[in-house]
Amino acid sequence: MLGLMQDWPLLLHKIIDHAALQYGGREVVTRSVEGPIHRTNYSQIRDRSLRVAQRLAKDGVKLGDRVATLAWNTWRHLEAWYGIAGVGAVYHTVNPRLFPEQIAWIVNHAQDRVMLLDLTFVQLMESVQDKTPSIERFVVLTDKAHMPQTKLRNAIAYEDWIAEVDGKFEWVEFDENTAAGLCYTSGTTGDPKGVLYSHRSNVLHALQACMKDTLSVSAQDSVLPIVPMFHANAWSLAFSVPLAGAKMVMPGARLDGASVYELLEAEKVTFSAAVPTVWLMLMQHMQTTGAKLTTLNRVAIGGSACPPSMIEYFEERGVTVYHAWGMTEMSPIGTVGAIKPQLAGLPLKDVLGVKSKQGHAIFAVEMKITDDEGNRLPWDGHKFGRLMVKGPAIARRYFKRENEEILDAEGYFDTGDVATIDPNGYMQITDRAKDVIKSGGEWISSIDLENLAVGHPDVAEAAVIGVVHPKWDERPLLIIVPKEGKSPDRDGILKFMDGKIAKWWMPDDVQFVTEIPHTATGKINKLKLRQDFSSYKLPTA
């Protein structure tokens, strides 16, 4: 017997409809790519996203067609997402930090018909447009006054483009399992893989993200999503913030410490989300200028492991840290480190220990850890194994790879991460499976060593890679970027680490560099580091 409740498909445009109706005047503030601060609200965003949908429909863009966006977090980008999905097409977020050839590759794979791009990326696309013939028209996210001279095919300014329709348009209705968004994983090896979100998975994930023990977004908040919309759905904030009716503050192209700080204070931001490297820039700005945070009370930190010293920095200033883990394939949030009731009242030192872990699974994310034979491992906080996940907002296949099975027999997706889970359900990432250092048949976590090294007062950033060793297979090499004006030495660093980890985990050597390479999504690029140090020989070898 089936239930007798209404059929109300979970479609993305229902989110912006709700925001416009219930919180129509709530502000959406952007540091525009053109420069000035721009202010609008959910009611106007909805009206203009309807125009985007109508304008696309006028050009024959239909259900399932892909429309690329190559853009920073701005109000126009937000309108574009709702408009594209609202006509039944798929917003395909392209990461501008990729190499031009990679951009051409994914645009061709996706067969994007239209591309909406920021002024910043006009030159970039001029250089590759000959290699992306599927794009019929380039829409530059600006107005007539700022529209540059460009050779881009059929180029038009966004404001002129949406002015060509009257906005009298109804959202297209379709099944909630219809594709809504496409995002390619950065994949350090092999071709990028497209993750194809559905309306249903995005709406469910937005609801999950708002929950008190996930990101706790409410109408009282002013939220600054620094994490880009081109990186894994901006951790759902483009959906969960309007859904909750919170004020939205968009950073545009400027993500440096001073610009972020200015927005946090000027727009009375209460919650923000970003990867550790962005927070590092903010912390350095605050340290050099003596600036203080007066309204921020929560930050989400994820994308890479958040070092305990960063958690401590924020918590000491009254800002609660949500250490989160997830991935593009998971929409993206999998775990968040909210404190469970059984751990309430712990002294700060122990709270920091719990928060250094990546958190516990949110509702509708099932996790298991397995050994190499696929057997489940216990949640004892010690045994580590492959982290596998299952849920309604987690990929079951990649786009155009229909024959490739990516789930195990129980329907779990292999995250490629190695982790422990403790008896309270808190998961801790040991490493990416391919980054873990295999020494004498045992595993050493590069993340643990990095977290420890950045706790040294003179260290700005640290990375650890495995280097070939004749006796032990691999041994850890610690690579360090010193803080500005500081010159730590090898022995001082090793002495600082000594006693805080098992003896055999101690790095065999320390090298100092001015910069550590990062991937397009802000993670330490270990592949590049391994190449950079390919001719390096350990003193112990």
Q: Which among 120-128, 317-325, 485-493, 498-506 is the span making contact with ligand AMP, rule CB under 6 A?
A: 317-325
C-alpha distances out from residue 390 to 40, 123, 302, 414, 489, Å: 38, 41, 20, 9, 45
Number of other residues whose CB lies within 10 A of the CB of residue 396: 13
Centroid of chain to Cα 392: 19
Min separation Cβ 522 and ligand AMP, Å: 9
Q: Which among 166-174, 307-315, 320-328, 370-378 is the span making contact with ligand AMP, rule CB under 6 A?
A: 320-328
The residue from 27, 34, 120, 185 that is catalytic is: 185
Told to check if 327 binds ligand AMP by CB under 6 A, we report yes
Told to check if 305 binds ligand AMP by CB under 6 A, we report yes
Considering beta carbons, is residue 181 or 303 the nearer one to ligand AMP? 303
Considering beta carbons, is residue 50 or 305 the nearer one to ligand AMP? 305
Rounded distance, CA 348 to CA 212, Å? 21
Told to check if 43 binds ligand AMP by CB under 6 A, we report no
505 catalytic residue (yes or no): no
Which stretch of DSSP H or E encloses residue 342? none
Min separation Cβ 358 and ligand AMP, Å: 5
The residue from 176, 267, 329, 450 that is catalytic is: 329
Nearest-10 crossing angle of helices 42-58, 13-23: 150
Which stretch of DSSP H or E encloses residue 420? strand 413-421
Q: Which among 141-149, 205-213, 299-307, 527-535 is the span making contact with ligand AMP, rule CB under 6 A?
A: 299-307
- Give the strand pairing for 90-93 and 509-512: unpaired
Nearest-10 crossing angle of helices 237-244, 13-23: 30
Told to check if 415 binds ligand AMP by CB under 6 A, we report yes
Q: Can you tell me which of 159, 417, 508, 509 binds ligand AMP, judged by CB under 6 A?
A: 417
C-alpha distances out from residue 536 to 40, 439, 505, 529, 533, Å: 54, 18, 20, 11, 5
Min separation Cβ 492 and ligand AMP, Å: 27
Told to check if 93 binds ligand AMP by CB under 6 A, we report no
Site string for ligand AMP, 180-199 (x = CB under 6 A): -----xx-------------
Told to check if 302 binds ligand AMP by CB under 6 A, we report yes
Told to check if 325 binds ligand AMP by CB under 6 A, we report yes
Told to check if 232 binds ligand AMP by CB under 6 A, we report yes
Told to check if 308 binds ligand AMP by CB under 6 A, we report no
Task: Tally the C-alpha atoms within 13 A of residue 36's C-alpha that lie toward its C-beta.
Answer: 4
515 catalytic residue (yes or no): no
C-alpha distances out from residue 512 to 396, 462, 493, Å: 42, 9, 11
Site string for ligand AMP, 426-445 (x = CB under 6 A): ---x--x-------------
CA nearest to 139, candidates 43, 199, 61:
61
User: Which pair of tokens denotes residue 64?
Assistant: 């399932």
Told to check if 391 binds ligand AMP by CB under 6 A, we report no
185 catalytic residue (yes or no): yes
Q: Which residue has the tokens 């790095």?
A: 507
42-48: long-range contacts (C-beta < 8 A, 24 or more apart)? 42/16, 42/242, 42/245, 45/16, 45/19, 45/20, 45/75, 45/78, 45/79, 45/82, 45/242, 46/16, 46/17, 46/19, 46/20, 46/82, 47/20, 47/167, 48/79, 48/83, 48/162, 48/167
Considering beta carbons, is residue 304 or 420 the nearer one to ligand AMP? 304
* Single-letter code of the amino acid located at 246: A
The residue from 443, 483, 523, 528 that is catalytic is: 443
Give the length of the chain: 541
Site string for ligand AMP, 50-89 (x = CB under 6 A): ----------------------------------------
In eight-state DSSP terms, residue 507 is -
Rounded distance, CA 385 to CA 433, Å? 9
The residue from 151, 438, 495, 537 that is catalytic is: 438
Q: Which among 54-62, 100-108, 365-373, 410-418 is the span making contact with ligand AMP, rule CB under 6 A?
A: 410-418
Q: Which among 142-150, 174-182, 397-405, 409-417 is the span making contact with ligand AMP, rule CB under 6 A?
A: 409-417
- Using CB under 6 A as the binding criterion, the count of chain residues that bind ligand AMP stands at 22
Considering beta carbons, is residue 54 or 335 the nearer one to ligand AMP? 335
329 catalytic residue (yes or no): yes
DSSP per-residue codes, 366-412 = EEEEE-TTS-B---SSS--EEEEEE-TTS-SS-TT-TT---B-TTS-
Considering beta carbons, is residue 323 or 368 the nearer one to ligand AMP? 323
Rounded distance, CA 321 to CA 312, Å? 9
Active site residues: 185, 329, 438, 443
Q: By the criterion CB under 6 A, which residues form the site for ligand AMP?
A: 185-186, 232, 302-306, 323-328, 332, 358, 415-417, 429, 432, 521
